[in-house]
Amino acid sequence: MTTTDPFLGGSRPFGLGYWPLPDDDPGVGVQREAVRLVSPDGALVRGVLWTPPIGTPWKTAVILSHPRGDFSVHYACPLLAAAGYAVLGFGTRYMNNDTDCLHEACITDVQTAHDEMVRRGAEAVVLLGNSGGGSLMAMANAELGIGDGWVGMAAHPGEGVFMLQVIDPSVIDEADPFATNPELDMYHPDNGWRPWPEPCTYDPAWVERYRAAQIERVARIDAVAKESIDASREVLADLQTVNKGDDPAAWRELRRRAVFTKYLTIYRTLADPAYLDLSIDPDDRAMGSLFAFPDPFDANYGRGGLARTMTARGWLSTWSGLSSGARLADTMPQVKVPTLLIHPTADTEIRVWQAKEIVAATGA
């Protein structure tokens, strides 16, 4: 059976079943249980508990999640369960929508899952993080002291650090997605770009300037986000001096300004020169990006990229490489439990040198 994309045309297979390939099916009858938990601050944490076949005892639990991804059906869950572990794959309160994602709240959800597995009898709980889940689980261990082991699978240095390498620094007006400084545009022929699928060649000195400009753009967005939050805090202080019963009109005006949430629209967030120039940080990857379809140029300007709409606080907590507390460079030195990092050398997003830095930074 096939289904047709109503917008782009074409068809794709439908109803293939859970396993992409027959060899992926462990075929040993692992068990599944829907799990619904409530965090201490009232958030819903949902997932699937995978356990070994009936009659097979388990002692160690593995929990895995991602700031916005649904890891209840992560491919590692049934395989680890078949190997004898209890595995709780779950989604945080921000599953499928990280617009207001606060890592500081996400780690509360991680602790909720951790404590549930301890309640169920786990003698040890391993924190497993895939992609952005790696920095989430490391932050949970560093900040909350939970977990008896940390495993990173294709773990990048942090959501914000990743944004630093993919954000388009040629944007000169955050309100205009087409406003561009051509000298900093990786998709401009004068800088080495060629139309897909031709490979591109960027001068190393230009790339160095490009990377510095990426940091500068993130800093500008940070400044806007912080200004909005500071303004709300100042009004909140004034609000404390007004009695809503005595002066409801004044209280109303201050209240709406105190709770105001600024939303940031962040255009063009798929612009890493290494996508199109494989001589930059060479490894086994193919040209292009996991987030493109298939040309990063189209995804940079169209549907694609990350962090396109964020609250001010969500941007600072999750996607700012300058402000987020979920940076492995900061948290890994505090991760002193047994640590394992698995890096796929054909990953289009994470470089070998980054994986080596994560290992070098760990306190284990």
- Asked whether residue 6 falls in the same domain as residue 149, the answer is yes
Token pair belonging to 208: 């160095």
Could you tell me the pLDDT band of residue 21, with boundaries at 50, 70 and 90?
low
Q: Which pLDDT value is given to residue 27?
A: 64
Judged against a pLDDT cut of 60, whether residue 172 lies above it is answered with yes
- Asked whether residue 186 falls in the same domain as residue 113, the answer is no
- Asked whether residue 150 falls in the same domain as residue 176, the answer is no
Please answer whether residues 340 and 128 qualify as being in contact, where contact means their C-beta atoms are separated by less than 8 angstroms: no
Could you tell me the pLDDT band of residue 45, with boundaries at 50, 70 and 90?
very high
CATH number at residue 109: 3.40.50.1820
> What tens digit of pLDDT does each residue of 264-301 get?
999 999 999 999 999 999 999 999 999 998 999 999 99
Q: What is the pTM of this model?
A: 0.90
Strand order in the sheet with 339-342: 31-38, 44-51, 86-91, 60-65, 124-130, 149-153, 339-342
Q: Which pLDDT value is given to residue 221?
A: 98
- Asked whether residue 168 falls in the same domain as residue 268, the answer is yes
Quote the domain boundaries for residue 254.
162-319
Q: Which residues contact 194 (CB under 8 A, 6 or more apart)?
A: 200
- Asked whether residue 276 falls in the same domain as residue 305, the answer is yes
- Phi/psi at 81 (nearest 5 deg)? -65, -40
- Asked whether residue 122 falls in the same domain as residue 228, the answer is no
- Asked whether residue 78 falls in the same domain as residue 216, the answer is no
Count structural domains, the chain: 2
Q: Which pLDDT value is given to residue 1?
A: 36
- Asked whether residue 131 falls in the same domain as residue 226, the answer is no
